Structure 1
Amino acid sequence: RISVQHGGGFDLLKTFAHTQGNVDYINNSAFRVNITGLMEWTWSDVSEMVFTLDYVAAGGVDDSRLVVDAVGLDITVQTPWYGGEVAFASSEFSGHELPVIGLDLAKGETTNLALDDCGLKPTMQGMNGQWVSEAVSPPPQQSLGRVHHTMSEGSATNITVEVSTAQEGGAFGEYQELTTNTLLPDGAQYKLRVTVEGGCLASVWVDVNDPSLTLTGRVFGTNDGIDPEYSRWLVFVDDELVSNEPMAIGSFAHEWPVGAYMQPGSTSFTVSVRAWFTWDSDGSPSHTALEFSDMAVSGGFDVEWDEDPVCEYVGDQHLLEDNGGLILPFLSRCTDDRATHDELQVTFSNSDESVLAVDLTEGDIRLRLLPEASGQAVIGITVTDPAGNAWEQAFTVVVDPVDDPPALEEFQSLIPVEHDVQTNINMSWSDIDSGAQVTASTNRSWASVDLVNNVLTVIPPVVGFHTVLVAVCDQTSCTEREVDLEVRALPDLLVESMDFGEEDLQQGESMSMRVLVRNQGQAEAMSVSVRCQTDEQLIAVHTIPLIEPGGLQAVVCDWQVPVGVSVLRFSAVVDRGLQIPEGNEANNELEQLVAVAEPLQGEQDGAEGIFTPEFARVGAVVLGIGILGIILYMMPAKIKKIE
């Protein structure tokens, strides 16, 4: 058991009982027990403390023993304490001109104000003075923020600022009073009117883009050990106080306009943060920390001037239809303050793409005329540099029309035609300029041209080779083509008629088909084949050796009419293989439908009575016996043995 006796009484601190092994607090960590809560301790109480450590065997004798190396006290003394700590951090921004515009007090209009060593000062004491600035504009693609001023004499409350704005190309409006540290209204130009009630106006400037300082961070720890009234953190710009913030536990994000702390013409400024930790502790442990995670200043800008490209103007162009177009040097006559010729982009617009085409080829403008096109087109040119700046121009191209001669295609080399027979020869012609005002003629009286149907018609009166000159003309020019003709006298075979006799056709009977063939051409026809057939079944083929011009020949085809048909389609075809050149091959065939009558009843029965199946079987047996007898009769005699 471990017990302690103190000024407040007796307390048992620890009892070890029924342990299964050694209790060792010497080789291992020491045994510790907190006695702070036993009483309100004083140094006198501590000095009079008595610790008792004893061991008692429970109901028997054992060899256990208690060994104590030392007994000690760990005392923490807490006393109230006071003091202060200061922390400092800074950052410098440099390398760019600050986003503020200074206004020249020597320029503008003044009333009862004059320049002095201190600035603008009223010329008559006790009277207000006014100064109206020149028009001020924001830098390109930027905006003005707030108006700031300083007084070398007097108080800032002696100043009244008014503003008048104008939009792009517009007039200035009425002046309106501007509250201190407020943003300017939107506008393209501004004029400031400053009224000085007393003192001396040292300077006036306007910031650009409302430059602001943003600061994020946190205060963490315990805040019970510091004086909340005197523990603060402060932000400065060029040693001018921007804000004074309390040391409050938690995160924060602040943004302050800082254009008032920037001076025109300066290229750097310093942002600094100072923290004061004023301690007021009762002695309890306490810690407080201030952390900044991000600090930035907005509003800066950097304007790069990039001028538009400049090119020499392209004049209006006059061209003639059917010419080869035009090449105009272009990019070599363009300049840009930054870009090279290869970096310039050229685009075109064309008001009438049916007249001509335009493009850029190796830095030159190429005007390409379209086939058979004339008229007027306006060509727009846009030259753009990499920054997007552009130069533009438009010029007019006039293409004068040309009356082209008619187009007449060549005829085939040699065209065969028939003597004294009208032949139509197809022809192809066009004239896109003259339209309907086109005529045609030939050098032969027996040849004429139909331009509507695109046909050359010839009726050659003489056999042989002839040339016809065809001319197609518009109002200004003609196009001529020669047509070579081979005029031949040809036979013209015609199946004139088919004759089947005076009696009607009957099934099963023989019939004769008489075909008349006439040569109505102007030349002999030799070896004329005539084919007789019915329903695609060949009856016979005959050849006529010769048919004189105008002659008529006949062939007869014999055939037995089949049984069981009522109508037959007979046809006769002359020169089916097209072996004989003719003037007209379409009249070489003739067809005719012929009715077929049934045979008489008696003839039909008689035929059926003789040729019955039984008669056929008996005839076959008799024929077989006869053949066998003939064979036996013709065999040699039996061979006999001679002894």
Structure 2
Amino acid sequence: MRTSLALVAMLMASACIVIPTQGETVLDIRQVELFPDGKFTENGAWTISGAYGYGSDPLRHSNAWIENDSLRIEHDRSVNSRTVTVWSGVNTTSGHESATGEPDGAYSTSNGPEIVLTDFDTVSFEGKPVLEARVFLSMQVPVRLSDDEVRLLMDNGTGGAALLHTWFHTETPINALDNPYWSMQIDVTGLTSFDVGSLAFTVDYASKGGQDDSELRLDALGLQITYQQIANGVEFVRTSTTHELPMLPWIDIEPEHGLWSGFVAEPCGLSVDVNATSSVWNSPLIELPPGQSVGRIWIDEEGNSSLWWRVAESEEAWQLVPRDASLGADQSIELQIEMLDGCFDGLRVDFNEPKVVVRGQMSGDITGIDTSLSSLAIVIGGETVVHTMFTAGAFEVQGPAGGTLSDEEMVIEIVTRFQWADDGSPNSFSVLVEAVEITGGFEYDIDEDPVCDEIPDFTLLEDGAAKEFDMALRCSDDRDTILSYNVLNSHPSVVSATISGTEIVIEPVPEASGSAVITIIATDESGNTDVLDVEVVISEVADPPIVGRSGLPSTVYVEVGVLKQAQLTISDIDTALADLTWMSTSQWVSVSETGLVSILAGAPFDGNVFLNVTDGTHQSNISFRLNATLRPDLTISELITTPSTAQEGDLISIRATITNLGEADARQFWLSCTVNDQPLDRATMFGLLGAGNSTTHTLEWEATGSNEMVTISCVIDERDHIRESDDQNNQAQISLNVQSSMPENTPMNVSSEADSEAPTYGLVVTGFLVLLGICYLILGPDRIRKVR
């Protein structure tokens, strides 16, 4: 069988470590590669990350990748530069002082005299190498240049002013008073920061005679300087992977596995008894796996102790165990610990002294690296195992790892630290990690039956989580690397036991409680078995009510005083619905036993309402937002015309009275009217009509038609912009009889006999008025009607 130290099990009765017995034969012993990912053959096994500085800022100059079965970590810094803008501080020509300093809108004007500017503040980059520079001009030439020209010259103090640029024959005016300013690159090769500060620039408006084309307006002249800055910093590149060892080249011994005196049991382990004359602990016999040797011994302690060893079952004197080296014994041993003070919680004996070995090469410009702080480290589970400082050339370093290795999945990291502090020059340095190896692994073959660790009896909750067991971690066999597993169940109606590969899942059957015995059988290819019996108890648990939203929205809009209902879904497998108790945080909301929610708000409200249902033991909750509001109710309470009868061509006044019958103000609503369904003027908007108030609006209409009945209709809030208590009372209409106009009388000459006919004429007029009154009663407009 290929086995790890899982074969080395504790026998508490004899207090010894079990290795192959006399009746078992070791067939083969082999070394085991504990960390194959350290060969970098699988790119996906590694994760690369890093940070600039000691926080979480991303890497700026370093990177890492896997290629050609190696890990390459590159650190590449370009020149460290900074850019600053400085403005001329001195004008050497009279009358042009406004051209100095930063752009401020005040400029100097010239159409002939030169403007000479110098004295740039170089304090920010004094003594630093100047890499490049640009000159900026905040300037304006308001009229295009036809014959005249503007010239820019620079004097670096080495041989007179040199022409940098000339503006002439411009197609348009030059307007660069505001940012972006006019700029150009200038040559500063060989100039120091002091030289830059002394540069002198001449801006000259050169007239060609006659009338000037324009003028020069100069606000400021500046230099944008890029200079080399000193550089310092640190970057950490982390290349990490997770790994579980294929075997464990060590054995852990708990304090209770040995014999002791002068100790007391504490949460920390065995603590020195201050009343004892001495505190001594003796280990059980520690037998070696075949063909292996004792490596280092690691004590989990807090305090001071002495560790001794000797060949097992011998009368030899105890020898002091080196704490920083391998013991190297090739026989079974026993250990003794003498504690002076403190507490210890066990020890680990590793075999073959497992080590982490890392090999690779470092190359590049190491002068730009702080070698006193830059390093390469291998970290396992947060503990540094290997650490080496940067040095050019090939390297191979190693460190003991037995105390940091784990029987669980471990995080293994390759941490590279690049530290630098220089003048900002470019730098390139690389670390090539060719392999990371963990030594000490082994395996051997013997002939024996399967052996499985016992599974203690346990209890699960009804409808609770399952429990899983990976039998591959609990069982081992001799010649068969793969075992088959089977399960038997005494009460499948209570407990479900299933197996998939090596995973056994034991879980409660829904809504069942009780107990069952689960029998697990491990079988090798020869038919040898190991049988485990596990009693599983399922504890009964009452289920809570289950409530669902169903027809209840997350926000419910209601009008105060108006009942609204919505249905919830409610179920409880253990309790009748009639025995459930509902509670509401709102006095206006109630719930029936079937989950019908009734809402009748007594006042405006906007907030969350919580509904709680309980069976007396468990409870469930649901909530919704209740928005209860008062609403307006607009109606046309009166619609009349003046006059009440009309002839064709008469100007009719139509007056509508609008009343708010509701409990809330109405805001921004429209009134529109029609005559025989034809719009009458444009709709009118009203800003505010308070609750219980009325307002009137008058329109005019020139009567048309001949001996016909017309219908005048007015409607409020035709498009339902306002949420009202009643939207069906917003329209009113009346009818009006329009008669044809009377023919005009033929003009007559008035004679003296007219006076004698005056009484007769008065009677005629009176009769005509009486006739009109009778017509109004018969043919006049109907009483106001509300259209629903």
Taking structure 1 as the reference length, the TM-score comes to 0.36
Larger relative contact order (C-alpha < 8 A, sep ≥ 6)?
A: 2
Counting strand residues as a fraction of each chain, which structure ranks higher?
Answer: 2
